[in-house]
Amino acid sequence: MLLRLRPVLTLAVAVATLALASGCGSADDWSEPHAEPSAVGTIGKGFTDPARPPTPESTITPRPDSWDSVHPSEDYRVVLLTAGDDRATRTLVDAVRRWADDEEVSLKTVTATDPHHYVDRIDRAVRMEPDLVITAGNDLVDPLAMVTPNHLDQPFLVIGAELAEPTHNVTAADWTGASFRGEGLGASSAYDPASFTPERATDAVRSGVAAVLSGVTGIVIWLD
């Protein structure tokens, strides 16, 4: 009986060893340094006006699909920071995850559930040292306005909402049916949760990431 089990045990040990070795080198291991992220491809005509680059806190309305040729470089690391379980937020979260799968991005998620600890969760996302923090959920807007000016080296992308006075490290992708700005301003009269379609959410993620990778930051991308 022992003779019969020995090959099986040997195989099991070998498989376990291989699994451990693979885990140490996986794309999800952020303990090792990696190359500075860069854009693979360039934004297309109509994304911005080269003769008049957008100024800080300005709003641009890029031509649809002008961001399609931009992709993140290998081993791009993103934290998805999310709060809320409403339909609109779930649609945004799904879009980020689909994009990460398509682009083979290393994605980790930080979920904020307690309003008293939203700032702590944002700090947690920053401490993970991602290349980009993507946020989904209106409840995060005011806490982000407090935290982001203290982490100017950390890029943020807010999708489906915007900060009233973003610093240069905060980019937003928004549209008429979204446009939540916080700081007592709340949602506009045109706010419409039904406007958070999978297609609109995907455009927000892709256009926003393209802007960040291309150095067009601190602005609002308007998708109407």
Domains of the chain, each with CATH number or no CATH: 41-222 (3.40.50.2300)
Average pLDDT over residues 171-181: 88
How far apart CA 76 and CA 38 sit, in angstroms, is 9
How far apart CA 170 and CA 41 sit, in angstroms, is 22
Quick one: pLDDT at residue 29?
80
- Sequence-distant (≥ 6) Cβ neighbours of residue 72 within 8 angstroms: 37, 39, 40, 103, 105, 131, 209, 213
Residue 1 has pLDDT above 60, yes or no: no
Q: What is the pTM of this model?
A: 0.86
Residue 147 has pLDDT above 70, yes or no: yes
Percent of the chain with pLDDT over 70: 83
Quick one: pLDDT at residue 168?
97
pLDDT digits (tens, 9 = 90+) for 32-75: 888 999 999 999 999 998 889 999 999 999 999 999 999 999 99
